[in-house]
Structure 1
Amino acid sequence: MKQQPLVSIILINWNQLPVTLECLESLKRLTYTNYEIILVDNASKEDPSKIVKEKFPHVRMIRTDQNLGFTGGNNIGLKIAKGDYFFILNNDTEVASTNLLEKLIEPFEKDPSIGMVSPKIRYFSHPDIIQYAGYTKINPFTGKNRQVGEKEEDKGQHNVSGYTDYANGAAMLVKREVADRVGVFPDHFFIYYEELDWSSQTVRHGYKIYYQSEVYILHKESITMGKASAIKTYYNNKNRILFMRRNSNSFQLMCFLAFLVTFTIPKNTLSFLFSGKFEHLRSFYRGVFWNVKNLNLYKHEPLNKSLATVEAPKQVL
């Protein structure tokens, strides 16, 4: 019998231990046997190491001395991962399909050009409602896109697997070769748009992204950052601009910036002012001006830090 490739499952925890423990418990449902679990605690207020090791002694755990975000935390996990594949998994998800890993690996074995695979994602609070069944292409004017099937009742209308434009950061299986050749998550994103950027860089290197419809996970969505928090406003707007700067040609970027100045900025300014959301307004402008202050970012450095240059953690528990 052919030996199963090793899969490294990587999760990030930040002040959400009960949710993380539920995710870890759900991983016991997997029928796949050759995997390791790496949990990166992003400097939570309370050290979860004792509880995690008591309940899940097989988990390899890293505790950072500062919050490195989704990007930096996952990069630390990638650095120590031994797997042939890396499964980036949000801590606010739970396994629904027991054969999840088997089905996520299948497309790689059929098409060597595939670099990333994501499963269908449904909402945990409404398990019959789809969140993700692939992604549409980023609009070159708005810098936004949408998740295929989002908020639709799952009646099998998106049960056809196939290539898509981007993997979903809540659950993405990545071939180790991608991290070696393309690099890892760009730290400047911290959170939001980071998987879209990594997907874009991966496609640029000749790989494909795949949506696997035969299995799904359940996502509790935005538990860490909040559904409408000011910090989410900051990172979404900062990183949308950053993404377009990194992944657009000159003409596309010019169109996007024109749309930003003439429509997006006035619209958001008026919206936040009239709704009294002044904290969101400040966060929005902070995101815009971050890009103004960092115009030369990436001009003379590689787009993505290579896996080899990621600094290894000092201690793995």
Structure 2
Amino acid sequence: MGLISIVTVNFNQPEATLALLKSIDLYYPKANIEIILVDNGSAADNKTYFTSNIHRVNYIRSEKNLGFAGGNNLGITQANGEYLFLVNNDTEFTAGILEELSATLDHNPTIGIVSPQINYYDSKATIQYAGFTPMNYYTCRNACIGQFETDKGQYAGKAEPTGYIHGAAMMITRKALEQAGLMEENYFLYYEEMDWCEKIKRAGFEIWINTNALIYHKESLAVGKNSALKEYFMNRNRILFIRRNADLHHKLFFYSYFLCFVTPRNILKYLADRTSSFIPVLFRAIGWNIKNPINSKHLGFTLK
């Protein structure tokens, strides 16, 4: 196994990040890997905390929160591996994950990026991700295969193309990275990995999953399962994804669909859920896309 660069991003979650680092150290104490940890605008400088526990960590601190894409991109620029494994800080490794994913890339040079199967950390027999269906560009919807199913081995042994990788765990080849480029940082949160897949596909590479590799994910640790931050970026970036990746007739249909169906449906849902404070957040998400070009770095949301 050649050098693999493991990149992860911490934002005010040192305990979760350390648990990830310890899981890497448990399964790969002497492997040919480098660990790059980007401390992404955390309130405290955690260098001593991490490096005193895991000595082989390359610690990089950003004074500013660069978002998911920006934090990972910062780590990528410092990576030396032929393969780069980007993992959320709220994941934990299992045995054989690096060998399985790297072997998938070794055996088929047309693959640009691959994800493992992902199960929920708090319910390890429950699947979160076993692939994605292709995107419906009329509605900007696709399905996560296997999500919430009990893992009975129904997806075991699959190494095959999939619609998209999962941003919680994705291994990319340096060749694909060089030809497709980095993730787009104006997404900040959500949809950036799907946009990256579109860039990778346009560069001539395939998107794969290998369910022989498994990682556990403590989902939504960073932004909460139901927050204004998540609501804003999920809606803003859903529109942005279509603006960046769909052709004209898909765009026109989607804009009508989002304004005439998604917006009133969401408002009714907010009222029913007693989260009416999300209504102006939704309109800010729409307004950002009206006011800003597709490469704008202006987020339109005040981060706390």
With structure 2 as the length reference, what TM-score do the two structures score? 0.94
Distance 1:130 1:71 in 2: 25
Select the structure with the greater relative contact order (CA < 8 A; seq sep ≥ 6). 1
Are the counterparts in 1 of residues 243 and 294 from structure 2 also a CA contact under 8 Å? no
What is aligned with 1:308?
none
Are the counterparts in 2 of residues 30 and 101 from structure 1 also a CA contact under 8 Å? no
For 1:157-200, what per-residue CA distance to the aligned partner results, in whole angstroms no more than 9, with x for missing partners? 11222100111110000001122111101010011001111011
Are the counterparts in 1 of residues 127 and 149 from structure 2 also a CA contact under 8 Å? yes
What is aligned with 1:235?
233
What is aligned with 2:164?
166
2:31 aligned to 30, 33, 36, which one? Answer: 33
Whichever residue aligns with residue 56 of structure 1, its letter is I
What is aligned with 2:258?
260
Distance 2:210 2:272 in 1: 43
Whichever residue aligns with residue 204 of structure 2, its letter is G
SS of corresponding position for 2:36: strand
Distance 2:211 2:269 in 1: 38
What is aligned with 1:144?
141
More off after superposition, 122-131 vs 175-184: 175-184
For 1:73-95, what per-residue CA distance to the aligned partner results, in whole angstroms no more than 9, with x for missing partners? 00100011111111000000001
- 2:180 equivalent to 1:182: yes
Are the counterparts in 2 of residues 30 and 100 from structure 1 also a CA contact under 8 Å? no
What is aligned with 2:12?
15
2:132 aligned to 119, 131, 135, which one? Answer: 135
Distance 2:273 2:206 in 1: 42
Distance 2:295 2:13 in 1: 33
Q: How far off is 1:109 after superposition?
A: 1.7
Distance 1:9 1:87 in 2: 5
- What is the 5 A alignment of 1:72-151? 72-96=70-94, 98-151=95-148
Q: How far off is 1:37 after superposition?
A: 0.2
Q: How far off is 1:285 after superposition?
A: 1.3
Whichever residue aligns with residue 226 of structure 2, its letter is A
Are the counterparts in 2 of residues 123 and 130 from structure 1 also a CA contact under 8 Å? yes
What is aligned with 1:224?
222
SS of corresponding position for 2:124: coil
Across the two proteins, how many residue pairs are aligned to each other? 294
More off after superposition, 179-188 vs 22-31: 22-31
Distance 1:246 1:289 in 2: 16
With structure 1 as the length reference, what TM-score do the two structures score? 0.90
Q: How far off is 1:271 after superposition?
A: 2.0
User: Structure 2 stretches of 5 or more lacking a match?
Assistant: 297-304
Distance 1:54 1:74 in 2: 23
- 2:132 equivalent to 1:155: no
For 1:41-60, what per-residue CA distance to the aligned partner results, in whole angstroms no more than 9, with x for missing partners? 01111211111111112100
2:212 aligned to 197, 211, 214, which one? Answer: 214
Distance 1:67 1:126 in 2: 30
- What is the 5 A alignment of 1:282-293? 282-293=280-291
User: Structure 1 stretches of 5 or more lacking a match?
Assistant: 300-317
SS of corresponding position for 1:9: strand
Whichever residue aligns with residue 243 of structure 2, its letter is R
Are the counterparts in 1 of residues 131 and 164 from structure 2 also a CA contact under 8 Å? yes
Whichever residue aligns with residue 114 of structure 1, its letter is I
What is aligned with 1:305?
none
Q: How far off is 1:30 after superposition?
A: 2.6
Are the counterparts in 1 of residues 119 and 216 from structure 2 also a CA contact under 8 Å? yes
Distance 1:102 1:38 in 2: 19
Distance 2:163 2:269 in 1: 31
What is aligned with 2:56?
58
Are the counterparts in 1 of residues 244 and 294 from structure 2 also a CA contact under 8 Å? no
Are the counterparts in 2 of residues 39 and 62 from structure 1 also a CA contact under 8 Å? yes
Whichever residue aligns with residue 160 of structure 2, its letter is G
Distance 1:195 1:152 in 2: 23
Q: How far off is 1:141 after superposition?
A: 2.4
What is aligned with 2:45?
47
Q: How far off is 1:298 after superposition?
A: 4.4
CA RMSD, Structure 1 to Structure 2 (Å): 1.3
